Chain A
Amino acid sequence: MADAVLFEFLHTEMVAELWAQGPDPGPGVSAGPRRVGGGSEGRDEKGRKMNLSVLEGMGFRVGQALGERLPQETLAFREELDVLRFLCRDLWVAVFQKQMDGQRTHHQGTYVLQDSSFPLLVPMASGLQYLEEAPKFLAFTCGLLRGTLSTLGIESSVTASTAALPTCKFQVVIQQP
C-alpha cells in the first residue's frame, strides 16, 4: 500500500490549510489567500506562532497514539540513549522508510538528530530556496517525536532547524524530573 505517499500529501495539504487560517478562526473564515508572510507584521508573527503550535500539537497526538502501537519490547528501554537510537532508526524507518543519518549528544539530556534528506522537505527544494517555509514542514514531526517520547515516559521539548533543504536537525531536550 502506498501509505507514505498519502501521508506526505496529507501533510502538505495540512500545512497549507492550517497556515492559511488566521489567529482567530471563525466558521468558514480564513485569513485571506493562501500565502506566506502576508499581512501586517504583528498579526503575522502571532498567526505564525499559533499555527506552528497547532501543527505541533497534532503531531504530538499522533506521536502519542503511534507510541501506543509500538511493540512491547520497545517500552523496556533502560537508557535514554537507547530511546534516542530507537527514534533514529526504528521509528524513522517505520514512519519515513529510512533511518536518520546522525545523532549527537550535546550534553546531558540534549540530543541532536540529523536527517540529511528529510522526506517531507525533499519535494520542496534543494538548497536555500524556501528556507523560510521549512519550519512549517517540520512542526508536525517535532510534535510526533515529542508525542512518541511521551508515551515512552519521557517528557521533552523538540525543535527543528534547517540550514539548507532537505537537511534538517531535530533538537530533543529531555526534561529532567
Chain B
Amino acid sequence: MSRPAQRRPEYHKINRDLFVLTYGALVAQLCKDYEKDEDVNQYLDKMGYGIGTRLVEDFLARSCVGRCHSYSEIADIIAQVAFKMYLGITPSVTCNNSSRNEFSLILDKNPLVEFVEELPAGRSSLCYCNLLCGIIRGALEMVHLAADVTFLQDRLKGDSVTEIGITFLKKLDEKKYRRKK
C-alpha cells in the first residue's frame, strides 16, 4: 500500500466516525424496539449510566485531575477536560442558581449528531443524545456525587442550542471527591 503519510488523517476520521455511526445504529434499533420516546430516552440514559460508571476510571487515569473544591470546578472539568478528551468539543459552562449547584453545559457543536439531519418522523420527544446524560450521571455517582442530568434544550428539537443541565443533589463530601484506587 502506498502513501502512508496521507493515510493517517483519513483513518483517524474513520475512528471517530465509528463511535458516532454505532451510536446512530443503536438509536435506530431502540426506536424499532420501543414505540414510546420516553422508553428510548430511558434506555439510552440507562446505557449511558453503565458506560459512565466505567468511563470515569478511564478518565481519571488519563487526566490526573487535581482535587475539586466546588461543584463549579467539577462542571468545568466535565466540560473542558472530559468532553474535550472524548468528543473533542468544549461546551461552555454557566451556573444557573445562587446556591451554585445547578449548571448548564452549552454545546455549540455536537459530534454525536454529525450525521443526523432531523429527528425521525413521530419521534419529536426523542432525546437523541441522552446517552451523554447517563454517562455524566454514572461517572459522577462513581465519585460519590449524586446528580440529575437532563437535556434542557436540544437543537434537534428546534431549540437554538443544545444544553445539558446538571443539578448536584448532595453536599460535596470533601474527603472523597474521587475514587481512591
Contacts and interface: CB of A to CB of B under 8 A. Distances in A.
Asked if A and B bind, the verdict is yes
Interface of A: 1-7, 9-11, 13-14, 16-18, 21, 25, 27-28, 54, 57-59, 61-62, 65-66, 69-71, 86, 89-90, 93-95, 97, 140
Contact of B33 (A13, A21, A61): A21
5 contacts: A1-B88, A17-B47, A27-B35, A27-B36, A27-B39
Given A10-B26, A62-B22, A69-B14, A2 B62 contact: yes
B44 to A, nearest CB: 10
B26 A58 contact: yes
Nearest to A17: B47
Given A11-B22, A27-B39, A28-B34, 8 more contacts: A1-B16, A2-B62, A10-B19, A10-B23, A10-B51, A10-B131, A13-B51, A62-B22
Interface string B46-67: 1100110011001000100000
A69 B19 contact: no
Contacts, number: 101
Given A3-B15, A7-B18, A58-B26, A25 B33 contact: yes
Looking at chain B's contact residues, the main secondary structure is helix
A28 B85 CA distance: 33
B175 to A, nearest CB: 28
A136 B102 CA distance: 40
B34 A27 contact: yes
A51 B115 CA distance: 25
Nearest to B40: A27
Contacts of B151: none
Nearest to B6: A71
Interface of B: 1, 6-7, 10-11, 13-19, 21-23, 25-26, 28-29, 33-36, 39, 42-43, 46-47, 50-51, 54-55, 58, 62, 85-88, 115, 131
Contacts of B6: 71
Contacts of A16: 50
Contacts of B55: 5-6, 9
Contacts of B19: 3, 6-7, 10
B111 to A, nearest CB: 9
Given A10-B51, A14-B47, A58-B22, A93 B11 contact: yes
A14 B1 contact: no
Contact of A94 (B15, B29, B46): B15
Contact of B22 (A7, A21, A93, A97): A7
B10 A1 contact: no
List of 4 A-B pairs having minimum Cβ-Cβ separation, nearest first: A94-B11, A94-B14, A58-B25, A25-B33
Interface centre among A9, A14, A65, by most chain B C-beta atoms within 10 angstroms, is A9
Nearest to B54: A9
A134 B87 CA distance: 29
Contacts of A94: 10-11, 14-15
